[in-house]
Structure 1
């Protein structure tokens, strides 16, 4: 089967024209079968308290999971004194043409930065049930402040991704009570362990020349591109035939400013057939990246 994958930092729906429009975000990546989104928000006044995850998934008619990096209070009392519960969230999302059988959210380490704007970060894991077999997909957004903030985050991601297949399923075995029992906690839900194949995608806030990128993809080698360990990933942009740099994924920077990446495990690297940065899309300050796979 042919799989079209995309990753897109949507800047909470704010386009290059200064307008909020979540629908055009979804339309920009409608050709993709699986999409990782970053900077997705729910319950903020600036866009009329929209649940952007639900809006995007609804317009695409896709399955989705959303994980918030932070969740803060947006509640109030109405004129009658009744509490109206509302949360303001910000995080990452995975949307898929096919069902997502299980999901987890990994909160990445945050170093406090007194007096400096910073955010809690996370990675959202989704096990997507492709017709060709299950695959793990991670949508992430790393810290923007400094390499010292990002390095603990990429260390956690690397460990998390390669440990996942050995941790078992969300539920390791059927409940001991009969499936038709009213006390069957699992209600007959089938779960399988995480597959080995994985895609890590998102806004890494670092270029291929960075130490953080090398920690994920291997150190530069004069003859072999990257000298990787067994627990490191492959950049789909490079295996598509591109140089590591020479393109920007954010419209305010020109040339070598590729900070959005799609990385895969070895088995998927051999199945990449193409990749492109959609610089014609203006719905966010970032451009979406598309990757084609022949599975």
Structure 2
């Protein structure tokens, strides 16, 4: 089975031309089967209160889940009736196939009184592909510093590792009152993690995800760490860029995976759409599925 996965920080659909256009965002990643989005918003005045979760779901015709890191009141009273709305900012997963279960894990944020930062999260979705289920994760780490990101990566990796025992929406036999609504959810070993890491492949943060770099032996990946699919496709991540200024090698958007998926990489590439200040990253897998 050929499976295309993309990660895309959409900067709330603000393009490099200063124009908001969610249709361009959808078009940029329409070929992907599973898309990991960051900086998706709902009910912000800057783009006329657009619900980008609903818009992307409709335009891509995908199953979606969304996890918000920033959630504030955007409600109104119209003709005496309360209209409930929340102003959100977060991560989203869109899948061609059903997303059987989902969780959102908030990541650590240390308050910086003189520097603007926002709450970050990772969103998990168990996607039921025709070749078998996989666990997909969309993450967005702090843009401020390694000191902010390193605690986030530690929580992120623990969340992924413990998912094979903890990710079920409910444990044990379902009571009779749940019959017909509760579904059995698999806990697949196969993982794809993508997002805006705000750091390059030679950083300490990526070392916690993929293993430390040794000058003689290369990447020293532990058994519980992941593989950079861009590298698995034969590319050097330190000479590429996923940020709007391509004059400087600055690849901060990554797709990493368990070895079974990374070993199935056919190709990986960086898109050229200017619909955001980031470019989407794609990977194509020739994947036969795994035993759950």
- TMscore range, shorter length: over 0.9
Q: Shift of residue 45 of structure 1?
A: 1.1
Structure 1: gaps (5+ residues) = 178-183
Measure, in 2, the Cα distance between the counterparts of 1:52 and 1:246.
32
In structure 2, the residue matched to 1:130 is 129
Deviates more, 1:203-212 or 1:249-258: 249-258
In structure 2, the residue matched to 1:199 is 192
In structure 2, the residue matched to 1:83 is 82
**SS of the counterpart of 1:15?**
coil
In structure 1, the residue matched to 2:5 is 5
Tell me the alpha carbon deviations over residues 228-259 of structure 1, each in whole angstroms, 9 at most, x when there is no partner: 11121110010100113101101135232000
1:117-266 alignment, distance < 5 Å: 117-167=116-166, 169-177=168-176, 184-266=177-259
- Kept in 2: contact 1:26–1:60 (CA 8 A): yes
1:33-44 alignment, distance < 5 Å: 33-44=33-44
**SS of the counterpart of 1:245?**
helix
Q: Shift of residue 12 of structure 1?
A: 0.1
- Kept in 1: contact 2:133–2:186 (CA 8 A): no
Measure, in 2, the Cα distance between the counterparts of 1:105 and 1:171.
15
> Could you say if the C-alpha distance between residues 110 and 233 of structure 1 is closer, same or farther in structure 2, counting changes exceeding 3 Å?
same
State the Cα RMSD in Å.
1.4
TM-score normalized by the length of structure 2: 0.95
TM-score normalized by the length of structure 1: 0.94
Structure 2: gaps (5+ residues) = 288-292
Measure, in 1, the Cα distance between the counterparts of 2:77 and 2:105.
33
Q: Shift of residue 225 of structure 1?
A: 2.2
Q: Shift of residue 115 of structure 1?
A: 2.5
- Kept in 2: contact 1:158–1:231 (CA 8 A): no
In structure 2, the residue matched to 1:291 is 283
In structure 2, the residue matched to 1:181 is none
Tell me the alpha carbon deviations over residues 115-174 of structure 1, each in whole angstroms, 9 at most, x when there is no partner: 211110000000000101100000010001110100010001111111111226212244
In structure 1, the residue matched to 2:274 is 282
Q: Shift of residue 81 of structure 1?
A: 4.5
